[in-house]
C-alpha cells in the first residue's frame, strides 16, 4: 500500500477553463483506480479565484495578514468541498468531512483511503499543508499540481529566457523560491517556500507538474515518469 499526497492548485478549478468537468471526472476516475489498487490518496486543494477575490475585497479594510489568510483558507475549504463531493457522488471511499488539521487528516486515513482537505492555519499555503500531510502519513511523495509545466528559475510569463528544470535538489528549489517565509496572504511562487523547507528537512520527494493536463497528474500518481520537475536531495 502506497500513500501519495496531491496538492491541487486552486487555479485548476476555474469553470471558465474549457473541459473542466471532464477534467474533474477524469480525476475522480484516477482516484477510484488508485483506491482499487490499495493506495491511500490525500488531496489538498488550493483557493484559486475565490481566495484571490476574497483577499482583494478585504485587504483595504482588514490590515492583518492572519485575518486575510483565514479568508483564503475558507476558499480552499470551498474548493476542497467541490472535490470531496464529486468523489463521494461517484462512490469513491472518501472521508466524510474536510479536516481542519494535519492530525485530523491523518486520523481520517484510518477510516477511508481518500482524504480531501484545504488549508489549516494562517501562515502558509496549501502546498505546505500537502507537504506536511505527506510527511505525517509517510507518503512516498507529494505531487504539486500547478499551472506551469515545470519549475523555472524565474517567471516564464515575464521572462522569455527563463530556464526550466527536470530535476532539482531541495536546496536548488529553495534558492529559486526563496527562504521559508509567508509575508502576505494570497499568491506565492511555484511552490510555497515554507513547504520546501519542510520537504528538505524530511527528504520528501516533490513532483511539480502542470495539473491542467490531467494525464500528467495521472502518470505522477501512478508513479510513472511524467513531464515536470522531480525534487529530491
User: Rounded distance, CA 52 to CA 154, Å?
Assistant: 22
Answer for which of 77, 84, 125, 228 binds ligand UTP (CB under 6 A) is 125
Point out which span in 15-23, 94-102, 118-126, 195-203 binds ligand UTP (CB under 6 A).
Answer: 118-126
188 binds ligand UTP (CB under 6 A): yes
113 binds ligand UTP (CB under 6 A): no
Give Cα 10 distance to the centre of its chain: 8
> Smallest Cα–Cα separation from 210: which of 152, 162, 160, 169?
152
**C-alpha Rg value of the chain to the nearest Å:** 16
126 binds ligand UTP (CB under 6 A): yes
The partner residues of 41 in beta bridges, in order of sequence, read 4, 114
What minimum distance in Å lies between the beta carbon of 58 and ligand UTP?
Answer: 11
131 binds ligand UTP (CB under 6 A): no
User: Rounded distance, CA 166 to CA 56, Å?
Assistant: 34
Answer for which of 4, 11, 30, 108 binds ligand UTP (CB under 6 A) is 11
Specify whether the CB–CB gap between 47 and 10 falls below 8 A: yes
Coil, helix or strand for 229? strand
95 binds ligand UTP (CB under 6 A): no
What minimum distance in Å lies between the beta carbon of 7 and ligand UTP?
Answer: 8
156 binds ligand UTP (CB under 6 A): no
What minimum distance in Å lies between the beta carbon of 161 and ligand UTP?
Answer: 23
Residue with cell 523555472: 152
At 165, give phi and psi (nearest 5°): -130, 135
**Chain residues in the site for ligand UTP (CB under 6 A):** 9-11, 46-48, 51, 69, 72-73, 76, 119-127, 129, 185-188
Amino acid at each position: 500500500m502506497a500513500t501519495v499526497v496531491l496538492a491541487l492548485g486552486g487555479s485548476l478549478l476555474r469553470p471558465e477553463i474549457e473541459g473542466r468537468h471532464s477534467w474533474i471526472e477524469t480525476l475522480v476516475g484516477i482516484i477510484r483506480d488508485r483506491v482499487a489498487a490499495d493506495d491511500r490518496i490525500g488531496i489538498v486543494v488550493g483557493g484559486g479565484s475565490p481566495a484571490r477575490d476574497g483577499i482583494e475585497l478585504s485587504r483595504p479594510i482588514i490590515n492583518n495578514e492572519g485575518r486575510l489568510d483565514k479568508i483564503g483558507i475558507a476558499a480552499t475549504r470551498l474548493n476542497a468541498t467541490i472535490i470531496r463531493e464529486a468523489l463521494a457522488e461517484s462512490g469513491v471511499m472518501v472521508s466524510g468531512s474536510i479536516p481542519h488539521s494535519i492530525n485530523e487528516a491523518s486520523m481520517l486515513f484510518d477510516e477511508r483511503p481518500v482524504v480531501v482537505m484545504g488549508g489549516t492555519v494562517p501562515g502558509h499555503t496549501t502546498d505546505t499543508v500537502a507537504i506536511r500531510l505527506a510527511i505525517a502519513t509517510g507518503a512516498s511523495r507529494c505531487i504539486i499540481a500547478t499551472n506551469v509545466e515545470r519549475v523555472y528559475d524565474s517567471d516564464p510569463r515575464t521572462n522569455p529566457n527563463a530556464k526550466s528544470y527536470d530535476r532539482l535538489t531541495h536546496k536548488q528549489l529553495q534558492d529559486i523560491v526563496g527562504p521559508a517565509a509567508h509575508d502576505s496572504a494570497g499568491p506565492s511562487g511555484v511552490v510555497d517556500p515554507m513547504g520546501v523547507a519542510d520537504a528538505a528537512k524530511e527528504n520528501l520527494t516533490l513532483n511539480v507538474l502542470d495539473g491542467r493536463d490531467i494525464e500528467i497528474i495521472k502518470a505522477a500518481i501512478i508513479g510513472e515518469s511524467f513531464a515536470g520537475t522531480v525534487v529530491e536531495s
